A and B are shown apart, each in its own frame.
Chain A
Amino acid sequence: MVLGKVIGTIWATKKYETLTGFKMQFVQPLNSELKPIGEPIIAVDTIGAGPGEIIFFATSSEAVIPMRVPMAPVDAAIVGIVDSINSEIRLEDK
């Protein structure tokens, strides 16, 4: 799973049928110091995160599991909102 920040929302009326009712959010991946890494991606929101919040998301086919549907073409899903991070090892020290 990857840390990220919600930076925007997407409206899509026409989507694959099992995705109906799910919100999709733009997520900027972050490192442990909350600095942006890589390009923003789109993730399905399964917990109700909002723009500006720090979240973590699951990628690849495991992203379907929190949606509680048998099949959905989803490769990233927000699965938690971060309250706080306590990290002693910083990525840049490695």
Chain B
Amino acid sequence: MILGKVIGTVWSTRKDEKLVGSKFLIVKQLELDYSITKNFVIAVDSVGAGVGEIVLVATGSSARQTSITQNKPVDAVIMAIVDKLDIPETKKID
């Protein structure tokens, strides 16, 4: 999974019929110190996340392993909202 921050919503009227009713969020990937990277992903929300929240995103075929994304053309799903990170070694190990 990757750590990300929800920065926006995607509205789409014309889409695959299996995607009707899904909520799409724009998630920017974060570094361990919460700094925002360039990478982003459009993810379906399965936990009720909102703009500004720190979330975890599961990608690939695992994204279809929820009741709301099962057998749908989805490759990223928000599956947790982060309360706290605990990283004993504050600087990245190199």
A11 touches B93 (CB 8 A): no
A14 contacts across to B, CB distance below 8 A: 47-48, 80-81
Whether B63 sits at the interface, judged by CB under 8 Å, is yes
Q: Which A residue's beta carbon lies closest to that of B88? A: A51
Number of interface residues of A (CB under 8 A): 32
B1 touches A74 (CB 8 A): yes
Q: Which A residue's beta carbon lies closest to that of B82? A: A12
Q: Chain B, 42-60, contact with A by CB distance < 8 Å: what is the 0/1 string?
A: 0000111000000010111
Given contacts A9-B86, A11-B82, A15-B81, contact A71 B66 (CB under 8 A): yes
Given contacts A8-B88, A14-B47, contact A24 B1 (CB under 8 A): yes
B66 touches A12 (CB 8 A): no
Give Cα A42 to B63, complex, Å: 15
Give Cα A15 to B63, complex, Å: 14
Give Cα A13 to B54, complex, Å: 12
B interface residues, Cβ below 8 angstroms from A: 1-3, 32, 46-48, 56, 58-63, 65-67, 69-70, 77, 79-89, 92-94
13 additional contacts (CB under 8 A) given A8-B32, A71-B66: A7-B88, A11-B83, A12-B80, A16-B47, A16-B79, A26-B85, A28-B93, A42-B1, A42-B3, A51-B86, A61-B62, A64-B62, A73-B77
- Residue pairs across A and B with Cβ atoms less than 8 A apart, 10 shown, are A10-B84, A14-B47, A15-B79, A16-B46, A19-B80, A40-B32, A40-B92, A51-B88, A72-B65, A74-B62
